[in-house]
């Protein structure tokens, strides 16, 4: 009986540390649906379309609830804001906040996303270009750090594989030979 107890304790420790290592290296949202605050601005509908692209790509494993009342800005999981310009090459900034017990938890606490609505010369982006930028920012906000788009503006298969790997139970990416 004592030997079985030791084996069970050892197995529990192994699974706990293995799970913690996965979470540390692959942080993600724990509670689904993820709430998203989008201010009442003209970019509202294109932002919802961009997040819906990730929701569809996930096959339902990632879902979003959208809020636009200003009192939700600090209560939601992901908060989107827009600015005319940013001084970086991506045109967006994603700041991930972790719970008080730290990044090693592997669980996102909040994400604050700022998206520039103009290109590097200050020209306003067309809706398609803005949607692409928001798709990339949204990908980073849900844990797909190297999100890529195809030339047609769709989420790349590599990004979808990463999304499924993070959120779909039992999913594994098959290695290419």
Give the CATH number, domain containing residue 116.
3.40.390.10
Residue 93 falls within a domain, yes or no? yes
Domain annotation covers residue 4? no
Kindly state the helix (H) or strand (E) to which residue 9 belongs, with its residue range. Answer: helix 2-25
138 in a domain, yes or no? yes
The mean pLDDT of the chain is: 81
Distance CA 133, CA 155 (A): 12
Res. 144: pLDDT tops 60? yes
pLDDT at 72 (0 to 100): 74
Mean pLDDT, range 129-143, rounded to an integer: 95
The tokens for 100 are 């008080």
Q: Tell me the per-residue pLDDT of 7-41, one tens digit each, with 9 for 90 and over.
A: 655 544 444 433 433 433 445 676 788 899 999 99
42 inside domain = yes
DSSP helix/strand/coil, 133: helix
| pTM exceeding 0.85 | no
Domain presence at residue 162: yes
- The whole-angstrom separation of Cα 175 and Cα 165 is 13
Residue 118 belongs to domain spanning: 26-167
Note whether residue 21 is domain-resident.
no
Kindly report, residue by residue over 50-92, the tens digit of the pLDDT. Answer: 999 999 999 888 999 999 887 877 778 899 999 999 988 899 9
Q: Domains in the chain: how many in total?
A: 1
Write down how long the chain is.
177
In the block, residue with structure tokens 């298969």:
157
Domain assignment present for residue 8? The answer is: no
- Cα–Cα distance for residue pair 67/107, rounded to 1 Å: 22
Is residue 70, in this structure, part of any structural domain at all? yes
């Amino acid at each position: 009986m004592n030997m079985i107890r030791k084996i069970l304790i050892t197995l529990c420790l192994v699974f706990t540390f293995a799970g913690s290592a996965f979470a540390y290296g692959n942080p993600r949202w724990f509670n689904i649906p993820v709430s998203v605050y989008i201010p009442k601005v003209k970019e509202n509908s294109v932002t919802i379309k961009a997040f819906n692209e990730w929701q569809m790509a996930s096959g339902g494993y990632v879902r979003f609830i959208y809020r636009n009342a200003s009192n939700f800005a600090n209560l939601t999981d992901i908060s989107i804001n827009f600015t005319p310009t940013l001084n970086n090459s991506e045109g967006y900034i994603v700041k991930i906040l972790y719970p008080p017990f730290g990044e090693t938890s592997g669980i996102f606490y909040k994400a604050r996303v700022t998206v520039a609505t103009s290109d590097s010369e200050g020209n306003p982006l067309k809706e398609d270009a803005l949607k692409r930028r928001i798709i990339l920012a949204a990908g980073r906000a849900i844990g797909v750090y190297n999100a890529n788009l195809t030339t047609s503006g769709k989420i790349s298969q590599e990004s979808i594989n990463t999304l499924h790997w993070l959120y779909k139970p039992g999913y594994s990416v098959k290695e290419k030979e």
